[in-house]
Amino acid sequence: MNSGSAVSELAEPHLRALLATAGLDVEYVRGEGDTLYRTGADGTETPVLDFAGGYGSLIFGHNHPEIVARAHQLLDERSPIHAQFSSHPYANRLAAELNRIVHRETGTDEPYYATFANSGAEAIEAALKHAELDRVLRLSEALEEIAAGVERAREAAGAGTATVTGAVFERLGIGRPGTGRRDEEAAVEAVAAEIGRRNAERAAKPPVFLALEGGFHGKLTGSVQLTHNEGYRTPFAALGARARFVPRDRPDVLEEILAEESGTLLGLAVEDGEMRLVERAAPVFCAFLLEPIQGEGGIRPLSAEFAGRIQALTEAADCPLVIDEIQSGMGRTGALLASSRLGLRGDYYALAKSLGGGIAKTSVMLVRNARYRAQFELVHSSTFAKDSFSCHLALKVLELLEADGGRAYRQAEERGAALETMLDKVRAAFPDVVEEVRGKGLMLGLEFQDQSGAEDAVIRDAAHSGLFGYVIAGHILHAHAIRTFPTASAVNTLRFEPSILITDESIERLERALTDVCGILREQASQRLAIPASE
C-alpha cells in the first residue's frame, strides 16, 4: 500500500486526482542513477527508467554516489548549515569556480558576482530585482546630472553670460515669461519647471520587461509575469510588472518594441552663451529574459542568428540581458552555459536544478561587473540561501563536471547525440505521427502531431482536454516502466532529460516504447493504451 493512501489527500489533492486520470500518481520510494523504484501492492520494487530526470535537475542521476558521500561527510562533520551573516569561504569558492568556467566558455574575464538563492524562480527574481535596482539608480544618477546642468544654467542666467534660445520654448511648447531685467532667470525657471515635470512623468513610468513567447522563467509573482503561458500568468497580472513578449525569430518585432518603449530625459546645457535643450536616453528597460533552449515551452532551441540579433539590439538599447540557464545549463548541452555555444553573453545568468546535485535545493544569480550594484546585497537576502550544505554540494557538482578535462560535458554531448539519433529514427519511421524532434545534448523533445481531429474518440478527447501528453506518459509508464513527461506549456511534446549515465540499452527501451505509442496513434487504437485506475 502506498504510504499516502491511508489518509485523505490534503497535499494538493486536485493535482493528485488529475495525475491519477493518466495513471501518473504512483509513489517512488528509491532512486539511483536513471532508475526510480516504485513498490507494488505486494511490497516488491519495480524499477522505472527515468527520462524525466527531476525536470532536468539530475545531470548525474538520482543519488550519485560521490554526491551522496559528500552529503554524508558534511552531515557527519556537523558542518554548520545555517550560519548567516558570517564569512562563507565555500560560497566564495563556488562563485570563483563558476566565474572560471563562465570566463572560459564566454571568452571574457569580467567578474560575475554571485547571489545565491533556493530555487530557479528565486534566482530569476533576484536578477529582476537587481536589474531594477540598477535601473532606478541609473535613473537617479541621470536626474542628478540633469539637476546639476540646470543649476549651471541658473548661474549663467544670473551672471548674464547666457540666454535661453527661442528654440527651447518652441520645443517644450511653453511661452517665454516676463519682459523685465531678470528675464533670463525667469526663462530658466520656466524651462527648468517644464523639464522637471516631463522628467518626473517619464521617471514614474513602470520598468519595461521583455521576454520571448513560449518562455518559462518560474511561477513566483515576479517571474510568472515573464512566463508566457497565459494560464499561469494572467490571474496574477495585478501582482507583478507586466512584460512584453517577443515572438521567436522575429528580431524586427524586438526592434519595434524597443523603439516604441524607449524614452528620453531632458536637460539644459550652456554652450557659447546659449542655453540649449539636451536629450538623453532614459533607462526604461529593466531586463530581457531568454532561455537558450526553451524548456517548458516545448524544447525549442534559440537560433544563433536570432541570439546574435537579440544581443546586438538589447546592447544598443541598454537593456540588460538575463540568460535563464536553469534548465539548459549545468552541462546538459555539453557546456555549463548552453548560451555560450550561441555566442551569447549575459549581463545576468540564472542557474539552478542540477547545481544542487539532485540533493540540495539551490540556485544562483550571476551579474557582471559592469552592471553590479553593491547595495543590492543589503536589500536582498534569504534565510536559507548560501548555506554550507548547498554550496559544498554545488562545488562537488562542478568538480564532477570539470573532472578529466570535462569528460562529463563530452558525455552529455555524446549521450545526447545517441538519444537524438534514436528519436530521429522514430520520427523517420512515423512521419505521419511525429511532428518534430528538437533540442540539444540531453535536453530533447519529440513533438507529436496534433490529435484534436483524431478518429479515435479517446485520443481526440485527450487532445481537446490538454491531457494528451500526460495520457501518453501514463501509457509509457504502465506499459513500459519508463517515466517521461510532456512539456507543460506544449503538451504534444514529450521531453527527455536523463543523466549523462544513460545507457544504450535504456535508449533502446525508450525506442520500443515510442514505437509502441506511435503505432497506437497511427492505428488510432486507444484500446491498447494502458491507463489503469488510480492506485
SS3 of residue 309 by DSSP: helix
Q: In the chain, how many H helices and how many E strands?
A: 15, 20
User: If 0-12 CB within 10 Å is exposed, 13-18 middle and 19+ buried, where does residue 520 land?
Assistant: buried
Find the binder of ligand F0G among 240, 295, 439, 445 (CB under 6 A).
Answer: 295
CA distance 340 to 102: 8
Residue 35 is classified by DSSP as E
The CB-nearest residue to ligand F0G is 120
**Which residues pair with residue 116 across a beta bridge?**
364
Instruction: Spell out the residues 6+ positions from residue 233 whose beta carbon is closer than 8 angstroms to its own.
Output: 224, 225, 227
Region from 137-145, 275-283, 322-330, 417-425 binding ligand F0G, contact rule CB under 6 A: 322-330
The secondary structure element, H or E, covering residue 301 is strand 300-301
Is residue 326 a contact residue for ligand F0G (CB under 6 A)? yes
Q: Which of 72, 56, 116 has the alpha carbon at shortest distance from 328?
A: 56
Is residue 232 a contact residue for ligand F0G (CB under 6 A)? no
Amino acid at 521: L
Task: State in angstroms the smallest separation of the CB of 367 from ligand F0G.
Answer: 17
Task: State in angstroms the smallest separation of the CB of 296 from ligand F0G.
Answer: 5
Task: State in angstroms the smallest separation of the CB of 309 from ligand F0G.
Answer: 21
Question: How many other CB atoms sit within 10 Å of the CB of residue 62?
Answer: 21
Distances (CA, A) of 241 to 5, 126, 205, 314, 467: 41, 14, 11, 19, 31
Nearer to ligand F0G, 267 or 439 (CB): 439
Find the binder of ligand F0G among 99, 106, 115, 119 (CB under 6 A).
Answer: 119
Nearer to ligand F0G, 121 or 156 (CB): 121
CA distance 267 to 19: 60
Task: State in angstroms the smallest separation of the CB of 292 from ligand F0G.
Answer: 9
Sign of the four-CA dihedral 430, 433, 437, 443: negative
Is residue 185 a contact residue for ligand F0G (CB under 6 A)? no
Find the binder of ligand F0G among 33, 61, 120, 298 (CB under 6 A).
Answer: 120
DSSP string, 54-96: HHHT-TT-BT-HHHHHHHHHHHHTT--S---SS--HHHHHHHH
Backbone angles phi, psi at 377, to 5 degrees: -65, -15
Task: State in angstroms the smallest separation of the CB of 222 from ligand F0G.
Answer: 12
Is residue 296 a contact residue for ligand F0G (CB under 6 A)? yes
Task: State in angstroms the smallest separation of the CB of 121 from ligand F0G.
Answer: 3
Is residue 121 a contact residue for ligand F0G (CB under 6 A)? yes
Find the binder of ligand F0G among 106, 327, 388, 484 (CB under 6 A).
Answer: 327
Nearer to ligand F0G, 106 or 327 (CB): 327
Is residue 291 a contact residue for ligand F0G (CB under 6 A)? yes
Site size with ligand F0G, rule: CB under 6 A: 17
Task: State in angstroms the smallest separation of the CB of 262 from ligand F0G.
Answer: 27
Map residues 63-102 to x or -, x wherever contact with ligand F0G holds by CB under 6 A.
----------------------------------------
Nearer to ligand F0G, 267 or 356 (CB): 356
Task: State in angstroms the smallest separation of the CB of 495 from ligand F0G.
Answer: 8
Is residue 55 a contact residue for ligand F0G (CB under 6 A)? yes
Half-sphere exposure of 337 (CA within 13 A, CB side): 26
Site for ligand F0G in 190-219 (CB under 6 A): 216-218
Find the binder of ligand F0G among 94, 150, 352, 531 (CB under 6 A).
Answer: 352
Region from 79-87, 182-190, 324-332, 442-450 binding ligand F0G, contact rule CB under 6 A: 324-332
**Bridge pairing between strands 163-164 and 208-212:** unpaired
CB 333 within 8 A of CB 341: yes
Q: State the cell numbers at 184.
A: 533670463
Binding site for ligand F0G (CB under 6 A): 55-56, 119-121, 124, 216-218, 291, 295-296, 324, 326-327, 352, 488
